[in-house]
Structure 1
Amino acid sequence: MTASSALADRLGLPSGARAVILNADDFGMCHAANAAISGLLVRGRIDSATVMVPCAWSPEALAFAASRPDLDVGVHLVLTSEWRRYRWRPLTGASTLVDADGFFPADVATVEQHASEEDVAAEIAAQLQTALDAGVDVTHLDNHMGSVYGLLTGRDFLHPVFELAARQGLPFRLPREMEGADADPMLQAKLTEAAAVADAFGVEIVRDGFLAVLRAVPPGVTEIYLHPMADGEELRAAVDFAAAKRGYELRLLDDPLVQQTIAEEGLVRVGWRALRDLQRGDAR
């Protein structure tokens, strides 16, 4: 997700600066995620992370975030529960947000088709409030599996997300362009429409293959998000697939060549806190 270079200018970065936010999603999903992500944050390998508040291991992640207010930690708004063996439920228990077993649906299409906007608004507010009540200085919001964007059926939940973000003075991850969107005019039109609504609310945006991504970062502010986790027995018992990939992403972020490439490319590391403070300053 890349914002215009105007955002970099507003952050006080040099003209033409190529800024990057390295974010870890799924903090709090399991202990394997918490061990990996908290370590990466402390070592300065990533710039921020977002917590899945409804998950069983979120108290550990929230306690860590509350103890380290110097680190950027946001909330990963959750409306889906995708694994077969490890599931989580909405905090509000709203009937339109659960499947026949009482868990969040496994897929985004079901959310788009059956969730009520009122239930979504209450649930995402409860997830954010839980993090705030735990003492976390929440820096930003994003969304698990893209369940609020309306990209599958056209029915989105961006209005309650934007209202929550604007009310709390928090930036929200909103992709204004997607790779391959030119081949899907309807998808790009949806993103353009969503970006316009976000602007009206005053909400900011946000090994070889990975190195190529870093080298291709354009001027402006670009977020790159990954899902680093410790690949072991716990993770493999929880997820149906991608355990090895998540373990690889953990090793990747610690790889000296990644740090070297960031330095060689002159990329400027920024965090979501800087965007949040800019947004709140604009609101004042």
Structure 2
Amino acid sequence: MNPKFLIINCDDFGQSSPMNQAIMHLLEERKVSSATIMAPAPGFEEAAEWCKRRGQSNIGLHLTLTSEFKVLRWKSLTDHASLHDDRGYMHPTVEAFERNADTRAVLQELEAQYEKVIRYGFPITHADNHMGSLYGMATGRSHIPHVLRKCVKWGLPFRLFRKVHPADPLLSSIPGVERTVAKASALAGALGVTIPDYLLSHPFAVEEGETYESFKKMMIAKMYNLPDGIVETYIHPGVADPFTQSHIPHWEKRVWEYRLMLDDDFAYALKDAGVVLTDYRYLQEHGRVSRIRSAWALAWELLRK
């Protein structure tokens, strides 16, 4: 059996202490590949200090332009008015961000978040984006070309994907997603920014009738059906915390994701299915594509009607 290479990334590192507790535990136990840290969020200092003490070498940058919860809010680092809602916090929805954010202010904020993280002295291995706010999914206003140029400057891979897996219930349902992915991945390749082959998602919220056992069964089935190439999936693990369980929507799902990574059944499934946990350092070394071919592919996509 040929090995299947999987990156399991913990998003939202630094969002809050209950998130940090879960993510730090999973990183310590090497149950996940990596985590991406949120520079503007209230739990950032706790997470960053921990990474610095340990010399953690598998932490990425979770570029954050939205603040979605009513009881847990954060502001931009650069304090530009276009990045904030009428309460002075980052916009609560992707649509509000896309409609209101000034492009120059977005680029300044991305740079400020990068600079804040690197000041702590641990290496950054990759970048991704909180809530997909840079992808243009709500109104079509995409910042992907800008963020890819930032990744060129920073020398970082970025969370995009070359292909849409037909079994992915979220990504495959987006109208026109394959054409959009073809253009974005070709641009990444032409710029020399390394990206995964596939991104596998699952519903963020607890679905009607869903239980931990049904969620586990679904995730284990994915391990036996991974496509060839370097695949990424992401989780948002958190510990069971009375305040967040009462005030943060679908916190129960975060507890399930934390529990799943520690579940012996899931560990057995990874081994039995021939899945090798890897990270963005492996992707950076083995996931490069021809820049010339990517440039031709981009030109073709741009000329297509």
Q: Normalising by structure 2, what TM-score?
A: 0.82
State how 1:120-159 maps to structure 2 within 5 Å. 120-159=106-145
Matched, 1:92 2:92: no
3-state SS in 2 of match to 1:20:
strand
Query: Structure 1 residues 182, 225: closer, same or farther in 2, change over 3 A?
Result: closer
Matched, 1:24 2:10: yes
Q: Unpaired segments of 5 or more residues in structure 2?
A: 197-215, 292-305
Q: Give the corresponding residue for 1:196.
A: 186
Q: Which has the higher contact order (CA 8 A, sep 6+)?
A: 1
Query: Structure 1 residues 279, 88: closer, same or farther in 2, change over 3 A?
Result: same
Q: Distance in 1 between matches of 2:173 and 2:131?
A: 21
Q: Give the corresponding residue for 1:267.
A: 275
Matched, 1:165 2:137: no
Query: Structure 1 residues 275, 118: closer, same or farther in 2, change over 3 A?
Result: same
Query: Structure 1 residues 72, 182: closer, same or farther in 2, change over 3 A?
Result: closer
Q: Distance in 2 between matches of 1:277 and 1:58?
A: 29
Cα displacement string for residues 86-130 of structure 1 (whole angstroms, at most 9, x for unaligned residues): 100100011111111111111001111111211111101111111
3-state SS in 2 of match to 1:40:
helix
Q: Distance in 2 between matches of 1:190 and 1:164?
A: 20
Q: Displacement of 1:183 after TM fit?
A: 5.4
Q: Give the corresponding residue for 2:45.
A: 59
3-state SS in 2 of match to 1:222:
strand
Matched-pair contact (CA < 8 Å) for 2:9–2:234: yes
Matched-pair contact (CA < 8 Å) for 1:54–1:90: yes
Q: Comparing 158-167 with 76-85, which one deviates more in the overlay?
A: 158-167
RMSD: 2.0
Q: Distance in 2 between matches of 1:217 and 1:236?
A: 32
Query: Structure 1 residues 131, 237: closer, same or farther in 2, change over 3 A?
Result: farther
Matched, 1:247 2:255: yes
Cα displacement string for residues 112-157 of structure 1 (whole angstroms, at most 9, x for unaligned residues): 1111211111101111111100112111100000000011211101
Q: Distance in 2 between matches of 1:258 and 1:152?
A: 34
Query: Structure 1 residues 86, 182: closer, same or farther in 2, change over 3 A?
Result: closer
Matched-pair contact (CA < 8 Å) for 2:40–2:75: yes
Q: Distance in 2 between matches of 1:197 and 1:74?
A: 21
Q: Displacement of 1:16 after TM fit?
A: 4.7
Q: Comparing 31-40 with 194-203, which one deviates more in the overlay?
A: 194-203
Q: Give the corresponding residue for 1:9.
A: none
Matched, 1:79 2:69: no
Q: Normalising by structure 1, what TM-score?
A: 0.88
Q: Displacement of 1:278 after TM fit?
A: 5.6
Matched, 1:209 2:214: no
Q: Displacement of 1:190 after TM fit?
A: 1.9
Q: Displacement of 1:185 after TM fit?
A: 4.5
Query: Structure 1 residues 108, 255: closer, same or farther in 2, change over 3 A?
Result: same
Matched, 1:232 2:218: no
3-state SS in 1 of match to 2:125:
coil
Q: Distance in 2 between matches of 1:261 and 1:40?
A: 17
Matched-pair contact (CA < 8 Å) for 1:169–1:279: no
Matched-pair contact (CA < 8 Å) for 1:140–1:276: no
Q: Give the corresponding residue for 2:295.
A: none
Q: Distance in 1 between matches of 2:84 and 2:161?
A: 27
- Equivalent pairs counted in the alignment come to 267
Cα displacement string for residues 172-208 of structure 1 (whole angstroms, at most 9, x for unaligned residues): 0013326355655523322222112111211111310
Give structure 1 regions of 4+ aligned residues with deviation exceeding 4 angstroms. 180-185, 277-280
